[in-house]
Chain A
Amino acid sequence: MENSQGSISLNARRRVTKRGRRAVPYKLTAPAFVFVTLLLVIPLLMMLRLSLYRYDPVQMYVQALTFENYVRFFRDEFYQQVLWTTLWISAVTTMLCLVGGLAVAYYVARTRSAVMQRYLILAIVLPLFMGNVARTAGWIIILDNKGLLNFLLQKFDLASGAVRLLYTSGAVITGLTSVLLPFMIVTLNSVMHNIDISLEEASLNLGASGLTTFRRIVLPLLMPGIFAGCVLCFILSMNAYATPILIGGPKFYMMAPTIYSQMSATMNWPFGAALAFILISLTMVLTVVSAVIFNRSARAGVVR
């Protein structure tokens, strides 16, 4: 009798312990969940609601349930053009970051001296300690009509007068690439570091050239890093604010500055909120679609 009672209570205790163990992940993630809900989800929902209000020039907005702000975006070519500019600038910037980042990340990962490697990583990360604005301001000094680049162009007779470099899309791409390149390099480097060097050595021993080894061995193994780095740079570029404002000039439009302008200069909060939601939605859709394509390719063996 005593035994049977004892085994029942032991079983019950085991069940409780098992349930407790199952609850551990929920308990551990609860603070983060509450934090994200309070500081991200609720404000986003409030902004979504705001995007459905009606604009009023005097009261700023009146409560309503209308899609007119979204309709305005899809009817107005100007705002579609702003989105298109944001997309192509982000795509080009991401590609440039990838091309520039691949060689640097490879060189850093294959540097034999651990001390040197640490210094190189530090040198790459160091610009991130400065704000975007400071780094972009440096480009103003270089690209201005009386700036360093124009001075050099004229000094070596490559241009007769001042060449307009500042306030162009090229300036914005240059500025964004310099701001985002460290993110790409660090992401690629962390993956590159884990690729076994003996695989490359085996390939070279079997007669493959350096380029073939990189293309057939390193690149496929690096694909998760490339994907993560590209997504990171693309998202940051889609949301760029300081760089387009400072070196894009008053005639250059990307989504984040346009949203800011609607919110604070025009004071059209409902339309600004609608633009913000369109940007968030498009960025999410593109990220998810590229993740699906990447996973499918990986499963099909295109990416190993």
Chain B
Amino acid sequence: MGYQISRRGLLAGTIGAVATMAATRGVRAEGGQIVVADWGGDWNDRAVQFLEAPYVEKAGYTVVRDLDGFDQRRTKIIASRRLPRAPMDVAHMDDATAFELNALDALDKIDETAVPRLKDVIPLLRTPTFVPWQYSAWIIGYNPSKLKDGPKSFGDLWDPKYKGIIGLSNEHWFHHMECAALKIGKSLDNMDAEAVKASMMEWKKAASPRIYPNHLQIEQALKNEEILIAPEYKARILQFASDGVNVVSSYPAEGGITIIFGLVMPKKGPNPDGGKFYCNALLDPDGLAALVQKSFYSPANTKSVLPEAAAKQIAFTPNEQKALHNRPHAFWLKNRSDLLDWWNKEFKS
């Protein structure tokens, strides 16, 4: 007596199986899987070691890591706006990109009811869709052995006496233009694109800065003494020094340019509750204090207490803090495409 499967039976069975799989998947997503996108490399290693492993994975969540470049992450979020599900729950971002994504209505709002530790975060760094995590400022690094008289302001970098020994990171082209704006007007509030272009061309003519792809090559060039000066994040200058590069930081007279790294949650993420849990966990004061002693960024959580020596090394003095400039996000949202085109076509040519 053979058992025969009817066509209807097969169809019903298949639908049932698919529905069960879909339902199980939904339950699993809400239960404990969090998709997190970050840069990878040492950034990811530190996040895993000091915060994700002890505070997220230990709490029963599985962190699925989408490690990729910054641009890819932003593009994925923008491209998935029309899809039923975002490709990630949380993305590590900088404040400028978070502003841009928010303008495109691609981010969920995050408040203190969902992420209680937000109440301890420096208020100036917060926005409704951005959880600040670590911050630093764009300043100047130079080789103290070769340059007894290092640059003291962004304006000094235009001095022909530094011709051929300044290195610029191509990836941070926008910061170089902000330096030019500070040289011209001492402020980033009313950046004038045309004045910035003219000043950049003067810089090119006077000091012929060398251009390298990103931080890593800048570090290598400083190490090789191919260059002796590099505008960089203070945190990166400290990282380079801890790697054995002969470099010290110089806080520019015009004031540094703030950079804030933090977390955003794209709309329609597969596990929003998990995403909020992750954001709260990454603000753990002790974990963050341990992490920033390796990354050399300042912690955004005011409850993170650093040993005195580390705090002195990483933090900015009250005067330096007062002189910090916030980045002109609205200006960049409007002008980024044109100015990047100009950077590639005119300045780099």
Where the two chains meet, the residues of A that have a C-beta atom closer than 8 Å to any C-beta of B are 55, 57-60, 78, 145-146, 162, 249-251, 253, 261, 263-268
Contact = CB atoms under 8 A, between A and B. Distances in A.
7 contacts: A58-B104, A78-B349, A146-B224, A250-B211, A266-B341, A267-B74, A267-B337
Nearest to A245: B213
A249 B213 contact: yes
A264 B100 CA distance: 13
A58 B75 contact: no
Contact of A265 (B71, B103, B211, B335): B71
B312 interface: no
A282 B74 CA distance: 30
Given A250-B211, A250-B212, A265-B71, A60 B226 contact: no
Interface of B: 71-72, 74-75, 78, 103-104, 170, 211-213, 224, 226, 333-337, 340-341, 344-345, 348-349
A78 B349 CA distance: 10
A78 B78 CA distance: 28
B159 to A, nearest CB: 23
Given A59-B104, A249-B213, 13 more contacts: A55-B337, A58-B104, A58-B333, A250-B212, A250-B348, A261-B340, A263-B75, A264-B74, A265-B340, A266-B336, A266-B337, A267-B74, A267-B337
Contacts of B335: 57
Contact of A250 (B170, B337, B340, B341): B170
Top 3 A-B pairs, shortest CB-CB distance: A250-B170, A264-B71, A78-B345
A250 B213 contact: yes
Contacts of B211: 249-251
Contact of A57 (B74, B337, B349): B337
A58 B103 contact: yes
Contacts of B348: 250-251
Nearest to A268: B337
A58 B212 CA distance: 29
B82 to A, nearest CB: 12
Given A58-B103, A58-B333, A249-B213, A145 B340 contact: no
B78 A267 contact: yes
B72 A145 contact: no
Nearest to A246: B213
Contacts of A261: 340, 344
A184 to B, nearest CB: 29
A57 B336 contact: yes
Contacts of A264: 71-72, 74-75
Contacts of A145: 224, 226
A267 B106 CA distance: 15
A57 B333 contact: yes
Contacts of A253: 344
A143 to B, nearest CB: 13
Contacts of A265: 71, 340
Contacts of B213: 249-250
Contacts of B170: 250
Contacts of A249: 211-213
Contacts of B71: 264-265
Interface hub of A78, A261, A267 (most chain B Cβ within 10 A) = A267
B69 to A, nearest CB: 8
A266 B337 CA distance: 5
Contacts of B212: 249-250
A110 B75 CA distance: 51
Nearest to A76: B345
Interface hub of A145, A250, A253 (most chain B Cβ within 10 A) = A250
A162 B349 CA distance: 23
Interface hub of A251, A263, A264 (most chain B Cβ within 10 A) = A264
Contacts of B349: 78, 251
Contacts of A55: 337
Contacts of B78: 60, 267
A32 B336 CA distance: 42
A256 B328 CA distance: 31
Nearest to A248: B213
A267 B338 CA distance: 11
B224 A60 contact: no
A253 B341 CA distance: 13
Nearest to B72: A264
Nearest to A78: B345
Nearest to B221: A145
A146 B222 CA distance: 13
B338 to A, nearest CB: 8
A277 B75 CA distance: 20
Contacts of A268: 337
Contacts of B345: 78
A59 B101 CA distance: 10
Contacts of B226: 145, 162
B322 to A, nearest CB: 32
A146 B340 CA distance: 31
Nearest to A146: B224
Nearest to A250: B170
